[in-house]
Structure 1
């Protein structure tokens, strides 16, 4: 028996999946410890249930995920609107080095994924999915590019990417702390920052908490800006693809249009972009589209690829650990701040920015504060990383499509 659910019911299920995932995260310590996103927890649980129902022949539930693309487009647009060039100046030389390292990582991850996929007699585009797409890109990029690659004829690309992103997320949380601990112990590193930073932090948070309320007018202005970037980006992407025959998905073009719009508006009126509202919209749309993506994973499509995927992901994990210890740590100054940033690099290089922050929180709570790391890692991990990663991923897809 086949049961088809409509758009409204599917969105409701996505919201339910998020709520269940949040509840499980609050109750199961290991999920919270490794910062597994709520949509991943709830979505995978529902995907398993749907797979069992299908496998036992009871019922096959078909979800209507046609609105998933809209939520994905909105999220990537909010990412672009967060890319203020002024933030890059604040980070200085360390930010640039860290940013370039992330670009290099995206390139190497793509090479590792494609090379090993070819050696294991898999489609090179599957290697793309288990490269920078799912490692540095996380579940968001895996969902976005997985859909694109499936449209190119690679069945199961989305499920493979999401599975790889989930394993990468866990791996990033598992090895980040041990890598940094190794560096701290080997080089006898200590935080050089004054205790005044810790005393000032509560005062700063108290001041920042007294902010103007988000009104419906503010919300509508931000929605207008997001809508403009989405619409303009869609046309730009289509025009670029028609002119060059180079596939440029609309969510990528919308993100880059948003970067341009953000920095133009910063020059004209620095108060027009309200990042708290943009952040809320981004968080909501990300949660919904990830929930829809995870709960619709066809697990039966990736079961026979479990061993090849494990081999490729293991190679990715080994590379990022060695690169962090022997290269990035030295480039960033071979000090305590550099070690903490390596922990963040490991987190979002295999998973997502929240994973990076979780790694750094665990480190600084034990060894001392690192203001530089907390400035550089979130800025690069949240949006600047895509400036390098997106062209590398798109080029890889077009080379092998």
Structure 2
């Protein structure tokens, strides 16, 4: 007879933190996790999900979690993304930042188009196939877990397991592909010689935009950051309801996720705050958002139903290989050409592989690898963190929402 354990809201949250801390411990001890920048909640969560799946499939134990707070932490994280979107930073970043943002947005659109296009080939529901598009690729595990929740809510089983598996694949594939792509572009086009001959040096960039400032711990700023996030969530949910009402007038089956409104309110508060007023402590908002993401991911991943992957394993492989091929071709033909067809562009192409299939840290790691072999690219290490850390998640959420509403 199968035993069952049901954890309430408090026990589920505490258990998720334990899973997160185990993931952090393993990340420090296992070089594989460090090399591919696998997040701690992903490590701990997936290990437990495998154990939980084994217990369930063998009829040994069935564990049920209360996911009430999971949505709260998810909305808290996405609201912090809104606060990252600074119009002032985008203006000060210069032309290359704007161009690369456009390139990254184009990749998001193509990733979803490829997913939907291949869904017909492999005979899969296009909404489920979208869980291999920009949701897990450019979006990473955070966006994957959140968007999959929306798809699962629409009655499509296996979305969460597929999105998490795809995001993990993306982290590894993007890290493996970036170095070779950058190396090939540089050697084939003799870009190193051109770079070394440059007399003008690197373009001027305002490195203060990506500089991490060490501020003293301030309880008042932390409290204000939390207050701003909660205000954005409270007001933003009303905005989400209004947007959904207006959307249904033109698209009866359309629906925006709950966090769209809070993201928009976060954008407004951030940009109203900038300048002389500056009443939103952005660094503290980001810290709270990162903490919320970690807890949300741990809660989401430890309850992933991996057994649902069995039915879609074959088609999923085709979809993931399609995304990997798209990323390689896009980096070499689009990113490299639009970013200037020079050494800096080649380094950014390498970074885009890690960033476009995994996460910004993976992109930076790819660029580190390329620059260790050749020479440093000041421009690449300026552009990628700004777009990856401040803007692309925001655009990606709206792109994914659009695709989910039209397929």
TM over 0.5: yes
Find 2:218's aligned residue among 196, 200, 215: 215
Q: Which residue of 2 aligns with 1:201?
A: none
Spell out the pairing of 1:247-326 with structure 2 (5 A cutoff). Answer: 247-270=255-278, 272-326=279-333
Instruction: Give me the whole-angstrom Cα distance separating, in 2, the residues matched to 1:324 and 1:96.
Output: 17
1:369 and 1:275 map into 2 onto residues whose CA distance is: 29
The answer to whether the Cα contact below 8 Å between 2:269 and 2:280 also exists between their aligned partners in 1 is: no
Give the Cα separation in 2 of the matches to 1:185 and 1:226: 48
Unaligned runs of 5+ in 1: 198-203
Query: What's 1:235 paired with?
Result: 238
Match of 1:158?
A: 160
Q: Distance in 1 between matches of 2:309 and 2:322?
A: 19
On the 8 A contact 1:75/1:286 being kept in 2, the answer is: yes
Shift of 1:341: 1.1
RMSD across aligned positions (CA):
1.9
Shift of 1:161: 0.9
- Whether the aligned pair in 1 keeps the contact of 2:138 and 2:356 (CA below 8 Å) is yes
Secondary structure of 1:154's match? coil
Q: Which secondary structure does the structure 1 equivalent of 2:274 belong to?
A: helix
Distance 1:111 1:208, change over 3 A: closer
CA distance in 2, matches of 1:143, 1:284: 16
How far residue 268 of structure 1 moved from its aligned partner, in angstroms, is 5.0
Task: State how far apart, in whole Å, the 1-side matches of 2:370 and 2:264 are.
Answer: 34
Alignment: residue pair count: 389
In structure 1, C-alpha distance between the alignment counterparts of 2:280 and 2:191, rounded to whole Å:
40
CA offsets 1:93-150 (integer angstroms, 9 cap, x no match): 2111111111111111111111111221111101111111111111111111111111
Matches within 5 A, 1:142-221: 142-190=144-192, 211-221=214-224
SS at match of 1:302: helix
Distance in 1 (CA, whole Å) between partners of 2:247 and 2:391 is 25
CA contact (8 A) 1:114 1:126 kept: no
Q: Could you tell me how far apart the structure 2 residues matched to 1:139 and 1:208 are?
A: 24
**DSSP 3-state at the match of 2:226:** helix
Map residues 353-372 of structure 1 onto 2, 5 A cutoff.
353-372=360-379
What TM-score, normalized to structure 1?
A: 0.92
CA-to-aligned-CA distance 1:133-181 (integer Å, 9 cap, x gap): 1111111111111111111111121111111111111111111111111
Runs of 4+, deviation exceeding 6 Å? none
Please report how far the alpha carbon of residue 387 of structure 1 lies from its aligned counterpart in structure 2 after TM superposition: 4.3
d(CA) in 2 for partners of 1:145 and 1:279?
21
TM-score (norm. length: structure 2):
0.91
